Amino acid sequence: MITPPLVRRNTPQRYRMEAYQCTKCGKIFFPGRLVCDRCKHREFEMVTLPEEGKVITHTVIRTPPTGFSDLSPYCVGIVEMANGVRILCQIADCEPETLAVGLPVTLEFRRVQEDGESGVLAYGYKAVPAR
């Protein structure tokens, strides 16, 4: 779903990778939470995720959902960032044959979705391997 309030509310995470770290046990959450699932503490401080990471699992989507056909087939993976936090995102500019567990990637700002021809654009992060 891409609607103006949804896009706006997700902007700090999608544009600036804002994560939140529990001030008691140090676990980092992306996106942030109201309560730490490890120690139940309720205070956090903002940290930015690093832009470097590595692929820990991956796939190639060949039957895309609505709105994703232009890039099909495209790579998707779970990426472990340099600070240990894991995210899921597309792996862009990547030939499917080169996908591998351990592939180092860097996050780039990309247009992730659009609400049809006239709706708002939803930007966010994708992981890109070195050229």
In this chain, which of 21, 36, 90, 105 binds another protein, going by CB under 8 A? 90
In this chain, which of 50, 76, 83, 115 binds another protein, going by CB under 8 A? 76
For residue 86, state whether it binds another protein (rule: CB under 8 A): yes
In this chain, which of 26, 31, 84, 104 binds another protein, going by CB under 8 A? 31
In this chain, which of 28, 52, 68, 83 binds another protein, going by CB under 8 A? 68
3-state secondary structure the chain: CCCHHHHHHHHHHHHHCEEEEECCCCCEECCCCCCCCCCCCCCEEEEECCCEEEEEEEEEECCCCCCCHHHCCEEEEEEEECCCCEEEEEECCCCHHHCCCCCEEEEEEEEEEECCCCCCEEEEEEEEECC
For residue 34, state whether it binds another protein (rule: CB under 8 A): no
Contact positions vs another protein (CB under 8 A): 1, 6, 10-11, 13, 15-16, 30-31, 56-71, 74, 76-78, 86-90, 92-93, 95-96, 101, 108-113, 116, 121-124, 126, 131
